[in-house]
Amino acid sequence: MDLEALSSSQEPLRKGMVTWISQSQCKVLSDGELYVCLLSQDVESSLVVGDIVSFTVVNEKDYIIKNLHIRQSFFARINDNPPYNQQLLAANIDAVVIVVAPNKKAIKTKLIDRCLISAKRGGVDALICLNKIDLIDSEVVDLLDNDLQVYRELQLPIQKCSAETGEGIDALKEVLSGKKVVFVGHSGVGKSSLINALAPQAKLVIGEVRESDGRGRHTTTSSKIVQLSDGTCLIDTPGFKSFSIGDKALTDLQYYFDEFNEYRDKCKFTDCSHTDEPNCQIKWAVREGKISRKRYESYLRLLGKDPSPLSKTAFKCIHCGSMVSPNDAGTKHRNHCPHCLYSLHLDFNPGDRAACCGGVMEPVAVWVRKGNEWAIIHRCQECSALSSNRIAADDNEFLLLSLAVKPLSTPPFPLEHLIPQGQN
């Protein structure tokens, strides 16, 4: 068919929303009616469910898309593999419903973090829906709810429901009322079932969860849209197997973490990446529990960093420059250099030494801890904090010895005053 000739018709343009797309045609909802429209070459590959288009009738029976209106918002996933292209899932939406289901008494929060970044980039609100609560005891629901607390603190609405029993569905319906929303999440979490429960007439294909591994089969291959009588639009999307957020987002990743806002300006370095830098207020806030550790770890993982970098990797001694391997000579993780015994007042892991100061720590003494464990006492040259650190089998013996005898060679207080008057 010659689409160019067809599209030169003089018929007035109609406006509507794309609800379904195939290779050569799409369905457009306009004034309450569905029109099947032919796709012209220039919009063919770029259309997505939720797009607003203008179309016109040709030959008194065929409709053809004339143009695509500018998108007010969108939700996209970036494919995990090269060329990391962006896959738009829906356009002109108000919110994304991130659906999660309980998995061995835990919730996979990584996907939530990724979806939140995509939502922010696309200019859409987000809410979390914990589905399948019929499968777990109420105590476990509370436990999982605790996992989600961090998102509640980020002002995200959280709905708990079951598409199976209908529990919580009315509340979800109310939250979504009048909005255009897209459902996203791993396959098998119940996105299609939720849409069916919210709009029983929708009749979406429901997948089956394999008993063995709990993972759903892919049943939804492209986004579909369902409209309720009050105007609410529900968009179903294919389940995610994996979902990256793309290189562009990585460069300014920290700005997608709202909870960092309060602290980032106070970091020592104005261009702090909040990873390896000393005196980083974000890390300090994590340490003090003001920022969720899980969210911070999510941030590190998205940057491709090990969430516990300081305890697992080899480091170069700040004082003598030797390379120190993280774990040998009977220690699981080192805090000081075995050659010069100096340390750094920086440790992201919780425990007695956790600190973000970044100052050089000088070894000042040796002592015996509880359980006859020998340790070095370090003093921070920056903030004067003292901390004690287990001695490793390959620590420099001469330096240890010189530390041990220091009080004898230069007594810290005049010893003669200890001897009572008249006895010398």
| Residues at the interface with ligand GDP (CB under 6 A) | 131-132, 134-135, 162-164, 185, 187-193, 206-209, 216, 219-220, 239
Complex with ligand GDP: residue 207 or 338, whichever CB lies closer:
207
Q: In angstroms, what CA-CA distances link 54 with 32, 65, 301?
A: 15, 6, 43
Q: Which of 50, 12, 20 is nearest to 233 (CA)?
A: 50
Assigned token pair, 23:
């290779």
Task: For residue 317, state whether it binds Zn ion (rule: CB under 5 A).
Answer: no
Positive or negative, the CA dihedral 324, 325, 326, 327 is negative
- Phi-psi label, residue 392: left if phi above 0, alpha if psi -120 to 50, beta otherwise: beta
Assigned token pair, 209:
């969860």
> From the list Zn ion, ligand GDP, none, which binds 122 (C-beta under 5 to 8 Å, kind-based)?
none
What residue has token string 């195939």? 22
> From the list Zn ion, ligand GDP, none, which binds 280 (C-beta under 5 to 8 Å, kind-based)?
Zn ion
Task: For residue 291, state whether it binds Zn ion (rule: CB under 5 A).
Answer: no
> From the list Zn ion, ligand GDP, none, which binds 97 (C-beta under 5 to 8 Å, kind-based)?
none
Could you tell me which stretch among 246-254, 268-276, 290-298, 368-376 binds Zn ion (CB under 5 A)? 268-276
Contact by Cβ (8 Å): 274, 299: yes
β-pairing, 233-236 with 25-30?
unpaired
> From the list Zn ion, ligand GDP, none, which binds 163 (C-beta under 5 to 8 Å, kind-based)?
ligand GDP
Contact by Cβ (8 Å): 346, 310: yes
- Say how many C-beta atoms besides its own lie within 10 A of residue 88's C-beta: 18
Q: Is 94 exposed, middle or buried (0-12, 13-18, 19+ CB in 10 A)?
A: middle
> From the list Zn ion, ligand GDP, none, which binds 118 (C-beta under 5 to 8 Å, kind-based)?
none
Task: For residue 267, state whether it binds Zn ion (rule: CB under 5 A).
Answer: yes
> From the list ligand GDP, Zn ion, none, which binds 190 (C-beta under 5 to 8 Å, kind-based)?
ligand GDP
Complex with ligand GDP: residue 187 or 298, whichever CB lies closer:
187
| DSSP 8-state secondary structure symbol assigned to residue 362 | E
Could you tell me which stretch among 2-10, 280-288, 343-351, 357-365 binds Zn ion (CB under 5 A)? 280-288
Q: Which of 335, 420, 352, 418 is nearest to 386 (CA)?
A: 352
**Taking the complex as a whole, how short is the minimal distance between the CB of residue 187 and ligand GDP, in angstroms?**
4
Complex with ligand GDP: residue 12 or 200, whichever CB lies closer:
200
> From the list Zn ion, ligand GDP, none, which binds 131 (C-beta under 5 to 8 Å, kind-based)?
ligand GDP
Size of the site for Zn ion (CB under 5 A): 5
**Taking the complex as a whole, how short is the minimal distance between the CB of residue 228 and ligand GDP, in angstroms?**
18
Contact by Cβ (8 Å): 237, 208: no
**Taking the complex as a whole, how short is the minimal distance between the CB of residue 305 and Zn ion, in angstroms?**
13
> From the list ligand GDP, Zn ion, none, which binds 239 (C-beta under 5 to 8 Å, kind-based)?
ligand GDP
Task: For residue 274, state whether it binds Zn ion (rule: CB under 5 A).
Answer: yes
**Taking the complex as a whole, how short is the minimal distance between the CB of residue 205 and ligand GDP, in angstroms?**
7
**Taking the complex as a whole, how short is the minimal distance between the CB of residue 98 and ligand GDP, in angstroms?**
11
**Taking the complex as a whole, how short is the minimal distance between the CB of residue 264 and Zn ion, in angstroms?**
6
The rounded distance, in Å, linking the Cα atoms of 30 and 140 is 45
The rounded distance, in Å, linking the Cα atoms of 267 and 204 is 50
Contact by Cβ (8 Å): 82, 166: no
**Taking the complex as a whole, how short is the minimal distance between the CB of residue 287 and Zn ion, in angstroms?**
12
Task: For residue 280, state whether it binds Zn ion (rule: CB under 5 A).
Answer: yes
The rounded distance, in Å, linking the Cα atoms of 74 and 121 is 8
- Taking residues 192 to 231 in sequence order and writing x for each that binds Zn ion by CB under 5 A, - otherwise, the string is ----------------------------------------
> From the list ligand GDP, Zn ion, none, which binds 272 (C-beta under 5 to 8 Å, kind-based)?
Zn ion
Task: For residue 286, state whether it binds Zn ion (rule: CB under 5 A).
Answer: no
DSSP string, 9-20: --PPPEEEEEEE
Considering only 89, 97, 117, 282, the residue that binds Zn ion (CB under 5 A) is: 282
Kindly tell me the number of DSSP H helices and DSSP E strands found in the chain: 12, 19
> From the list Zn ion, ligand GDP, none, which binds 274 (C-beta under 5 to 8 Å, kind-based)?
Zn ion
The rounded distance, in Å, linking the Cα atoms of 147 and 31 is 43
Contacting positions for Zn ion (CB under 5 A): 267, 272, 274, 280, 282
